[in-house]
Amino acid sequence: MSKFLETETGSRCRPKFPAERVIQECAAAEYVSAMPSPAATVDVSNVCWSTELPSTNGHPDLDRVIRLASAWRERYGADAEMAFVADTSLRDRLPEADQERWPALVTEWGVIEAAVADEVILPMARDNPKMMVLSRDNFIDHRREHPWIEDHPERFLAWQMNGDSIAFVPSGVKPEPLQRVSREKEDKLVHAAGLARSVLRTRWSCGDPYCTAAMTRQGELLLWPVADTEGRARCPFCEGLLAAIGPREQTKQLVLCDMAGAELLRFPIEAGVDVVIGRGRAIFGVGIDSLPSPPERHGRISRQHLLLRLRPDGCVTAVDLGSANGTRIHRAGAPPGDGARLEPHTAVTLGGHDLLSLARSVRVYVSGQRYPVGDDRTWSGRSEPPRTEIESEGTT
């Protein structure tokens, strides 16, 4: 047995849970009991920071993960397979005494260090259906990439103290709305992208008079800014430094996608500033035919097809501007179909999960994310972003 592991003693008492938690616990217990010796992957950083476990060295504390591993092996056998994964940042955040112990623990346990431990833990568990995940993280920000998480909540266990013993309990994984998934992912990506919230909550102006983005909205940037390596705001089009011109009003983010759901563009909408989607020439607009890969049948979209507005109460409204081929709204929870056609020049309010279909060519919806992070949604280097000013002349 590892010199780091000491036997956990004491009886395991069954905690009291609400009905849903009891069901989850029974499912997890049945799943684990069906295995002669269940494997486990341990979110080391999550365990070391957990206030559910007693600490002797402050936060984070290596003794926590040592004690948890001992409890698991006492319950499921000294030879139970365990994989340990830690964020690389943990090493430097441990107390000095634990930093001295860390290299020996890494060697003896074979600890995998990764920039983001979740990105190792989840594929490992996905590929081994007999592996449990020991973490208090519900991995909400990974639900799109790993839909199996919601299909197998019984494979995710947390811990709590029962007297002097550690009890393994369901972590509480359950289905989550897509908007919450987007928000959780965004919270982790904003910092990683170098985009400080103060930058995203500021209105910016590009000083280059020849920059297409600077020509839109009388010098005010309609697109999101990008951050350089020093965290300074730059124009996503010409890469010039931007000048702050005041706080940004309440903002939401909209997503433009093709009819198959492939994302084409994300753009902000600010309270008090209308945005028009269409073809042809329309200031403050998003040009479908100026996208790098215009969708099929985009010629059916009118030059000024749809107006979008963010009200002070935070609701987004849409107005069909008398388009030739119409705009349809697909309400969340409504039966499948083409949706209801909007009356021209009549505002409708979009719900959180509603979809707008423009001339059966593109769709628009309100994103759960507030900022443009992840999945190549911010521009860097010399790549040219989609233009927001509609420049090509249409005929519809």
341-374: string of b/e by CB count within 10 Å (b at 16+)?
A: ebeeeeebebeeebbbbbbbbbbbbbbbbbbbbb
Q: Is the pLDDT of residue 119 over 90?
A: yes
Beta bridge partners, 255, equal 266, 365
Report residue 188's pLDDT band, with 50, 70 and 90 as the boundaries.
low
Structural domains of the chain ordered from first start:
19-176 (3.40.50.11980), 181-366 (2.60.200.20)
Per-residue pLDDT, 380: 31
Average of per-residue pLDDT across 344-364: 92
Cα Rg of the chain (Å, integer)? 26
Average of per-residue pLDDT across 98-114: 96
Per-residue pLDDT, 23: 46
Per-residue pLDDT, 4: 52
- What H or E segment, with its residue span, contains residue 74? helix 62-76
Per-residue pLDDT, 280: 63
pLDDT tens track for 298-347: 889 998 899 999 998 889 999 999 999 999 999 988 887 878 999 999 99
Q: Is the pLDDT of residue 393 over 70?
A: no
Per-residue pLDDT, 394: 36
Per-residue pLDDT, 317: 96
Average of per-residue pLDDT across 182-197: 60
Considering the chain, what percentage of its residues have pLDDT values greater than 90? 42
pLDDT tens track for 251-305: 888 889 998 888 888 878 888 778 889 886 545 578 787 776 778 778 899 988 9
* Cβ–Cβ under 8 Å, residues 379 and 236: yes
| 206-to-150, 221, 240, 272 alpha-carbon distances in Å | 45, 7, 7, 20
Sign of the dihedral through C-alpha 131, 135, 136, 138: negative
Answer whether 0.75 is exceeded by the pTM.
no
Per-residue pLDDT, 197: 62
Per-residue pLDDT, 391: 31
Q: Is the pLDDT of residue 6 over 70?
A: no
Per-residue pLDDT, 189: 57
